Amino acid sequence: MTGTLYVIGVGPGDPELLTLKAARIIREVPCICVPKGREEGSSLALSIVKKIISLDSKNIIEAHFPMRKTKKSSDMSELDTKWNETVATVMGVLDSGTDMAFITIGDPTVYSTFFYLYYRLLELNPSLTIEIVPGISSIMASAARAKISLGLADEKIAVLPATYADDISAVLAHFDTVVLMKVHKVFDRIILELDKAGLTNKAVYISRAGMDDEEVIHNITMLRGKELNYFSMVIVKK
Amino acid sequence: MTGTLYVIGVGPGDPELLTLKAARIIREVPCICVPKGREEGSSLALSIVKKIISLDSKNIIEAHFPMRKTKKSSDMSELDTKWNETVATVMGVLDSGTDMAFITIGDPTVYSTFFYLYYRLLELNPSLTIEIVPGISSIMASAARAKISLGLADEKIAVLPATYADDISAVLAHFDTVVLMKVHKVFDRIILELDKAGLTNKAVYISRAGMDDEEVIHNITMLRGKELNYFSMVIVKK
């Protein structure tokens, strides 16, 4: 019997934001897989879980999840080699009949590297049993901390990775709420676009929502030129 | 001492999708407020919670949350009267020094009626202590069940209430993922727009994600003309 792969969102940082289901499955499975090798909190998912669940008796696999920043990156062959190693490791555990939890911060369907693994696993074994357990996304956690409604009644919501700075003005014109993800590298450009649209005072910056060092800043112009956290976003609510 | 109002998302239906924090606070508070008087599962939030937490010793307040379908509804005065009653009830409990949990399905920041209450409460008492506890949104739960990534790398996500059927074609052209909420009343129109855009085979219909009577349907044209569930959405992933 091939093992089941549980893909578990562990939420944005506060361990109490794990779901009951996530906590139960993590307690039950003998093996946990977590991405490693990325500068930004590669072991953040693991550190969140460790605060409330003892992992001492479990087999922890830290696997390479090389990231493409866009779908058109050039260095695909090196990425492919590393990915193939990760896929082989995961498949080896499952083939031995062991259930595994792949843990990821936030929610697995919202900009999580898991889906790269998913498509590769399915290629090798289309009948693999994979269950995705949703987690609290940083988007909802940030809105909660800033006390912003992302949408009410007939309002439209857009979520943009900040790499799409060129699209911001058009999206601001047509949507009621715009969530700009990972703004740390393009923040001054974002301020520029918000100023142009007259929406700077409708924007809130949220960093590390729900964590001890959380920041919620309404006067976002004061952040211009500053070094910002990787886990940050701007929510614009007209 | 005025009580604290906890606004708690209890997730989309599976009681195991409550967060640890939601479960803890609901156990601790003596009073729970839940919207009533709407045709569609007004007591769904309560029924989710009751499956795992005994509410026998708690004061349950079912309050009117009259909904506006759009921001421009006409019958505002009747709505206002009902709202004022609800606000007075909630404020009365908090003023007596009692902590209260307002429970809402999904996540409080995603199309939840709570924010109508929030703005009215703050008008009366700007210093009220309100904590929003995020919950699993039906959007993430549906994506998880359909095994769809809402976004990867530089992909853009749009969420549209289905009242915006006129905007669908433009949004489909510019976004990688489009989430169409509450599609039950406009489904045939949605199929029409998807057909025009050549995206019908990229759409998945998900109803009551994670509940016993969940439906995940990839061949959505078979649903044309059928009566669909209120808790349903279509996710289009190019």
Q: Residue B180: closest CA among chain A residues belongs to which residue?
A: A156
Beta-carbon contacts of residue B172 (< 8 Å; ≥ 6 apart): B178, B193, B194, B197, B199, B236
Pairing of β B215-217 and β B203-207: antiparallel
CB of B17 within 8 Å of a chain A CB? The answer is yes
CB of B211 within 8 Å of a chain A CB? The answer is no
pLDDT band at A48 (very low <50, low <70, confident <90, very high): very high
pLDDT band at A46 (very low <50, low <70, confident <90, very high): very high
Q: What tokens appear for A12 in the block?
A: 């944005």
Interface of B with A in 146-175 (CB under 8 A): 147-161, 163-164, 167, 170-171, 174-175
Question: What residue segments make up the domains of chain B, in order of their start?
Answer: 5-133, 138-237
What pLDDT does B74 receive? 58
A93 pLDDT exceeds 80? yes
What value does the mean pLDDT take over residues A83-92? 91
β-bridge mates for residue A59, sequence order: A31
Interface of B with A in 63-92 (CB under 8 A): 67-71
β-bridge mates for residue B206, sequence order: B216, B233
What value does the mean pLDDT take over residues A33-52? 80
What pLDDT does B83 receive? 82
**DSSP conformation class of A77:** H
Name the least confident of A76-80, A191-195, B54-58. A76-80
Three-state SS for A20? helix
The minimal CB distance from A140 to the residues B16, B107, B170 is found for B107
Q: Phi then psi for A76, rounded to 5 degrees?
A: -70, -30
Interface of A with B in 91-150 (CB under 8 A): 107-112, 115-116, 118, 130, 132-137, 140-141, 143-145, 147-150
What pLDDT does A128 receive? 96
pLDDT band at A59 (very low <50, low <70, confident <90, very high): very high
- Asked if A171 and A183 count as a contact pair (C-beta separation under 8 A), the reply is no
Q: Does domain B5-133 have CATH number 3.40.1010.10?
A: yes
CA angle B46, B160, B140 (to 5 degrees): 50
Cβ neighbours, 10 Å, residue B234: 27
Q: How far apart are CA A136 and CA A141, in angstroms?
A: 7
- Whole-number Cα distances in Å, B27 to B7, B99, B128: 14, 12, 22
Q: How many CA atoms lie within 13 A of A199 on its CB side?
A: 22
A20-28 helix and B20-28 helix, angle to the nearest 10 degrees: 120
Which of B115, B117, B154, B163 best probes binding to A when mutated, by most A CB atoms within 10 angstroms? B154
What pLDDT does A135 receive? 98
Q: How far apart are CA B183 and CA B219, in angstroms?
A: 15
Interface of A with B in 177-196 (CB under 8 A): none
Q: How many CA atoms lie within 13 A of A178 on its CB side?
A: 27
What pLDDT does A41 receive? 52
Q: Secondary structure of chain A: what % helix, strand, coil (to 5)? A: 40, 25, 40
- Asked if A12 and A138 count as a contact pair (C-beta separation under 8 A), the reply is yes
Q: Specify the amino acid at residue A160.
A: L
Beta-carbon contacts of residue A85 (< 8 Å; ≥ 6 apart): A63, A64
β-bridge mates for residue B213, sequence order: none
Q: How far apart are CA B165 and CA B187, in angstroms?
A: 9
Q: How far apart are CA B48 and CA B62, in angstroms?
A: 15
β-bridge mates for residue B33, sequence order: B61, B102
The pLDDT tens digits of the residues spanning A94-140 come to 999 999 999 999 999 999 988 988 988 999 999 999 999 999 999 99
Three-state SS for B222? helix
pLDDT band at A83 (very low <50, low <70, confident <90, very high): confident
Q: What is the pLDDT along chain B (238 residues), one digit of tens a residue?
A: 899 999 999 999 999 999 999 999 999 999 999 987 554 555 789 999 999 999 999 999 988 877 655 455 555 677 778 888 889 999 999 999 999 999 999 999 999 988 988 988 999 999 999 999 999 999 999 999 999 999 998 999 999 987 777 788 999 999 999 999 989 989 999 999 999 999 999 999 999 998 889 999 999 999 998 999 989 999 999 9
What pLDDT does B37 receive? 58
Residue written as tokens 């999206």?
A171
Q: What tokens appear for A110 in the block?
A: 């919202």
The pLDDT tens digits of the residues spanning A133-176 come to 999 999 999 999 999 999 998 999 999 987 777 788 999 999 99
- Whole-number Cα distances in Å, A80 to A34, A40, B19, B171: 18, 21, 36, 33
8 Å CB contact of A167 and B174: yes
What pLDDT does B6 receive? 98
Strand intervals (E) in chain A: 5-9, 31-36, 59-64, 100-104, 130-133, 157-161, 177-181, 203-207, 215-217, 232-237
Rg (CA), chain B: 19
Closest CA to A41 of A138, A115, A131: A138
Q: Specify the amino acid at residue A70.
A: T
**DSSP conformation class of A63:** E
Element (H, E) at A96: none
- Whole-number Cα distances in Å, B12 to A21, A229, B224, B233: 13, 31, 25, 12
Strand intervals (E) in chain B: 5-9, 31-36, 59-64, 100-104, 130-133, 157-161, 177-181, 203-207, 215-217, 232-237
Q: Does domain A138-237 have CATH number 3.30.950.10?
A: yes
Q: How far apart are CA A67 and CA A111, in angstroms?
A: 11
What pLDDT does A26 receive? 98
